[in-house]
């Protein structure tokens, strides 16, 4: 009786597990990658076709961010209010204290001395008006204008009253007596409206200089003082 000998199986030989067959639920990976590549290619083609039809789009420049308007420095208002209080104090002292009034001349020729005060007061009122209107949209280039308002107003009011008196005398053959209140009003108005003072100076200059230009043989041929060469005022 033959005895069958059983050989031990090799341990290094492992049983091979069969790979799962592709099904509807688990499609092969190669098919998925191919489908994705085709979809991406179609999308790129559609994008290129759309760009070709629409053409290159213009790039609009981005608008600059809106600048916040500057706010008025507080010291400008404090300075203008101080000027006004000082002018009121000078007026009260002049009226109520005779020793102080005795050291100040009553007039400058035909012009009362009060035109200086009224011109400065009109200028300070103009400064306060500009502060109240433009305090939230402040232009710092006007700071020095506010610093010098009383001095500038005193000068423009006094000179303006003098020019007003001269124009009155030129327009009349007899001596004219003008009430002091008229000069006070003129000084206050020209101190408040400095542009009106500049316009008045230009009018006086035109009256004085233009007749000479008409009779001048040099200017009749054209010179550097011709009106076309002078810048126009804004």
pLDDT tens by residue, 27-68:
555 455 566 666 676 666 665 555 544 455 555 555 555 566
pLDDT average, residue stretch 1-18: 48
Q: 207-233 pLDDT, tens per residue? A: 777 655 554 444 444 433 343 333 333
Structural domain count, the chain: 1
Residue 86 pLDDT grade (very low, low, confident, very high; cuts 50, 70, 90) = very high
Does residue 230 sit within a domain?
Answer: no
Report the pLDDT value the prediction gives residue 195, as an integer from 0 to 100.
85
pTM of the model: 0.59
Helices (H), 104-225: 114-134, 143-147, 149-170, 180-192, 194-215, 217-221
CB-based contacts of 84, cutoff 8 Å, min separation 6: 121, 124, 125, 128
176: left (phi over 0), alpha (psi -120 to 50) or beta: beta
pLDDT average, residue stretch 189-199: 88
Does residue 60 sit within a domain?
Answer: no
Q: 134-165 pLDDT, tens per residue? A: 888 888 888 999 999 999 999 999 999 998 88
Residue 13 pLDDT grade (very low, low, confident, very high; cuts 50, 70, 90) = very low
CB-based contacts of 197, cutoff 8 Å, min separation 6: 156, 159, 160, 190
Does residue 52 sit within a domain?
Answer: no
Does residue 39 sit within a domain?
Answer: no
Does residue 226 sit within a domain?
Answer: no
| DSSP helix, strand, coil percent of the chain (3-state; round to 5) | 65, 0, 35
Report the pLDDT value the prediction gives residue 54, as an integer from 0 to 100.
47
Does residue 18 sit within a domain?
Answer: no
Average pLDDT, the chain: 74
Least confident of 54-63, 66-75, 97-106: 54-63
How far from chain centre, in Å, is Cα 181?
39
Distances (CA, A) of 1 to 4, 5: 9, 12
Does residue 205 sit within a domain?
Answer: yes
- Rank 40-49, 68-77, 184-193 by mean pLDDT and report only the highest: 184-193
Least confident of 6-20, 105-119, 186-200, 202-216: 6-20
Report the pLDDT value the prediction gives residue 139, as an integer from 0 to 100.
87
pLDDT average, residue stretch 95-112: 88
Query: Which domain does 171 fall in, by range?
Result: 74-212
Does residue 128 sit within a domain?
Answer: yes
CB-based contacts of 191, cutoff 8 Å, min separation 6: 118, 119, 120, 121, 122, 123, 126, 153, 154, 156, 157, 160
Residue 107 pLDDT grade (very low, low, confident, very high; cuts 50, 70, 90) = confident
Q: Determine phi and psi for 70, rounding to 5 degrees.
A: -75, 145
Rounded Cα gap, residues 105 and 91, in angstroms: 15
Rounded Cα gap, residues 178 and 209, in angstroms: 27
């Amino acid at each position: 009786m033959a005895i069958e000998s059983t050989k031990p199986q090799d341990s290094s030989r492992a049983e091979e597990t069969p790979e799962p067959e592709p099904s509807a639920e688990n499609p092969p990976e190669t098919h998925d990658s191919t489908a994705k590549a085709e979809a991406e290619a179609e999308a790129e083609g559609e994008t290129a076709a759309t760009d070709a039809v629409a053409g290159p789009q213009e790039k609009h420049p981005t608008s600059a961010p809106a600048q916040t308007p500057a706010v008025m420095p507080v010291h400008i208002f404090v300075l203008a209010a101080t000027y006004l209080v000082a002018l009121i104090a000078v007026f009260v002292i002049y009226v109520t204290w005779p020793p102080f009034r005795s050291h100040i001349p009553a007039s400058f020729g035909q012009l009362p001395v009060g035109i200086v005060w009224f011109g400065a007061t009109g200028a300070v009122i103009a400064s306060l008006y500009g502060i109240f209107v433009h305090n939230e949209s402040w232009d710092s280039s006007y700071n020095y204008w506010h610093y010098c308002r009383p001095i500038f107003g005193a000068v423009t009011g006094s000179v303006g009253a003098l020019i007003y008196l001269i124009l009155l005398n030129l327009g009349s053959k007899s001596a004219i007596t003008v009430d002091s209140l008229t000069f006070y009003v003129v000084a206050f108005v020209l101190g408040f409206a400095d542009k009106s003072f500049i316009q008045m100076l230009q009018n006086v200059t035109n009256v004085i200089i233009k007749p000479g230009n008409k009779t001048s043989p040099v200017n009749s041929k054209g010179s550097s003082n011709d009106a076309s060469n002078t810048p126009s005022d804004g």
